[in-house]
Amino acid sequence: MSLLKMLMEAQGGQGLGQLARQFGIDEDKVGGLTEMLAPAIAQGTKRRAQHGGLEAVLGQLTGEAQSAYLDDPATAAAPEGQAHGQQFLDQILGSREASGELATEAANRSGIDLGAVMQFLPAIAAMLQGGMQRNLPDSSI
């Protein structure tokens, strides 16, 4: 399953709408925003793994500590969830500045307020990390 599809189907298809309401994002725009951010996170993860960071990426994806974030977007949007999501972003994108650049680009392209995008980004990163943890077989690591 693609990461984008995983997010779109979270909480019976209601997860992204719940995040949109929580961060004051127009629900009609949240799908487009997610379509920009999810592939960028996936590409960052792939790039990090290919350039000597495989162990760090796998470290972020083993276990099930964040798997609940996929099922409960409100938890992903809470301060602890956002902190986990930001840590995941920093690890896969290489720096806090890189995630800020991603948020700025997404805000400019989507027309959504930068502050809202900067809150939304770590929440969906936490959800993605949780979904990837759930789908990565621990026995192979």
Is residue 94 in a domain?
yes
pLDDT at 141: 44
- Domain range for 57: 3-136
Contact 31, 16 (CB under 8 A): yes
pLDDT at residue 57 above 80? no
Residue 111: DSSP 8-state: T
What's the CA gap between 82 and 66, in Å, rounded?
11
Is residue 141 in a domain?
no
Q: Give me 10's structure tokens.
A: 């979270």
What confidence tens digit (pLDDT) does each residue in 83-126 have?
999 998 988 888 899 999 999 999 999 999 999 999 999 999 99
Residue 95: DSSP 8-state: S
- Which of 62, 96, 98, 94 has the alpha carbon at shortest distance from 82? 96
pLDDT at 59: 65
What's the CA gap between 35 and 38, in Å, rounded?
6
Is residue 20 in a domain?
yes
Is residue 58 in a domain?
yes
What's the CA gap between 38 and 124, in Å, rounded?
8
What total of structural domains would you count in the chain?
A: 1
pTM: predicted TM-score of the whole model, two decimal places: 0.84
Is residue 12 in a domain?
yes
